[in-house]
Amino acid sequence: MGKVKITQIKSAIRRPEDQKRTLIALGLKKLNKARVIEESPAVLGMIRKVNHLLKVEKA
């Protein structure tokens, strides 16, 4: 597929535990940290789950 750049823009504090675990699985632990990852159906599903906490861009 392609690559996607994700940046955490909102805190995981006061979020459900499964959303916190999803952010960690995506490699995001702190605010304003970005990661470029390969698109796959599993990754896109995780991004969709926590989309309200992220900024997503094509890389």
CATH top class, domain 3-58: alpha beta
Buried/exposed 21-43: b ≥16 CB within 10 Å, e otherwise: ebbeebebeeeeeeeeeeeeeeb
**Confidence band, pLDDT 50/70/90 cuts, at residue 57:** very high
Domain layout of the chain by residue ranges: 3-58
Rounded CA gap, 35 and 5, in Å? 6
- The pair of three-digit structure tokens given for residue 40, joined into one six-digit string: 């796959």
pLDDT in tens, 4-55: 999 999 999 999 999 999 999 999 999 999 999 999 999 999 999 999 999 9
pTM over 0.85: yes
Q: How far apart are CA 12 and CA 47, in angstroms?
A: 14
